[in-house]
């Protein structure tokens, strides 16, 4: 079935949910990528600012050229929370991008991701947005809202809209979200919501660094299997925390991968405990977006 037709089925299913009839489990279409020009609403534009998930985030992309130097950037979510992050442009236009979502705020922030991991992505030709989630680092907002309720997904949507409005003209159909610990919650919430939001694309791929029951705070993977089956997902976990991730193998997706490491390193701490994981995760992402330099 064509991607546009699937979007309409998903939207109709969402209306059915509102009426108490059923749930949307249909894959998202590719149309309607966010392409905001900057300071106004992000995404597809033309939305009522009070219309909920489908309304555009306030995006303030860098005014600079698409170079290779790190940019400290700020932008707002559609519920008015100011977020800050580090943006590492690929140096060329129309490249894939990776959004990094750190472990639980406010204890952790974007500094949790080691520079070696970011370098492993940029050297493979991808831009990287390393974000302080709401309530963490230099971002505003309530930390608990980052993973409880729907507002955490708005952080990911604002990140997507920032990328869509940046002068590098990111290929919005090739954006990967990496979540560490309960950063996986935000990544999953955005993915599920994006299935019925015509202003954004759903992720090209996902990486869950130590997912757990918290990943499913708002959305159970088993209830969105048809949607998620079409998205490559890499589950990275330690032997000590394997239970939840290994259980996902029961979904029998042909595009999900599982990588277990000895020990008990959690989330982004895996990169320090098992340095080889940096290259292995970067290779998965680059292959998913078909970067020309994924080896």
SS3 readout for 245-285: HHHHHHHCCCCEEEEEECCCCCCCHHHHHCCHHHHHHHHHH
pLDDT at 161 over 90: yes
Structure tokens at 139: 């971002």
What pLDDT does 28 receive? Answer: 42
pLDDT, tens digit (0-9, with 9 covering 90-100), for 112-131: 999 999 999 999 999 999 99
CA distance 243 to 228: 20
pLDDT at position 293: 47
- Predicted structure pTM score: 0.80
User: What is the spatial distance between Cα 234 and Cα 232, in angstroms, rounded to a whole number?
Assistant: 7
pLDDT: is 52 or 195 the higher one?
Answer: 195
pLDDT of residue 291: 58
C-alpha–C-alpha distance, residues 277 and 35, integer Å:
33
Q: Give the separation between CA 267 and CA 237, rounded to whole angstroms.
A: 8
d(CA 30, CA 195): 10
* Gap between the Cα atoms of 211 and 54, Å rounded: 27
The kind and range of the H/E element at 122 are helix 115-122
- For residue 45, pLDDT beyond 80: no
- C-alpha distances out from residue 201 to 91, 143, 196, 239, Å: 23, 26, 10, 34
Distance CA 138, CA 143 (A): 12
pLDDT digits (tens, 9 = 90+) for 69-111: 899 999 999 999 999 999 999 888 889 999 999 999 999 999 9
pLDDT > 70 fraction of the chain, expressed in percent and rounded: 76
């Amino acid at each position: 079935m064509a991607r546009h037709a699937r979007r309409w089925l998903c939207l109709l299913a969402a209306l059915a949910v509102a009426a108490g009839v059923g749930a949307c489990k249909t894959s998202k279409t590719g149309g309607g990528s966010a392409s905001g020009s900057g300071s106004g609403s992000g995404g597809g534009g033309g939305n009522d600012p009070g219309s909920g998930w489908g309304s555009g985030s306030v995006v303030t992309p860098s005014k600079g050229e698409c170079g290779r130097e790190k940019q400290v950037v700020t932008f707002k979510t559609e519920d008015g929370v100011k977020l800050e992050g580090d943006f590492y442009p690929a140096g060329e236009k129309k490249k894939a991008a990776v959004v990094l979502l750190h472990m639980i705020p406010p204890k952790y922030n974007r500094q949790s991701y080691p520079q070696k991991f970011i370098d492993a992505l940029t050297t493979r030709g991808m831009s990287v947005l390393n974000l302080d989630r709401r309530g963490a680092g230099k971002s505003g907002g309530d930390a608990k809202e980052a993973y409880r309720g729907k507002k955490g997904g708005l952080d990911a949507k604002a990140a997507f809209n920032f990328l869509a409005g940046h002068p590098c003209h990111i290929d919005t159909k090739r954006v990967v979200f990496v979540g560490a610990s309960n950063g996986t919650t935000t990544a999953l919430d955005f993915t599920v919501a994006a299935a019925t939001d015509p202003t954004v694309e759903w992720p090209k791929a996902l990486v869950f660094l130590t997912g757990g029951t918290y990943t499913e705070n708002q959305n159970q993977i088993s209830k969105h299997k048809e949607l998620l089956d079409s998205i490559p997902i890499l589950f990275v976990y330690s032997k000590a925390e394997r239970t939840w991730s290994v259980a996902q193998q029961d979904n029998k997706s042909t595009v999900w991968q599982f990588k277990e490491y000895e020990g008990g390193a959690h989330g982004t701490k895996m990169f320090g405990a098992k340095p080889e994981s940096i290259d292995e995760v970067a290779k998965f992402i680059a292959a998913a977006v078909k970067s020309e330099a994924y080896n």
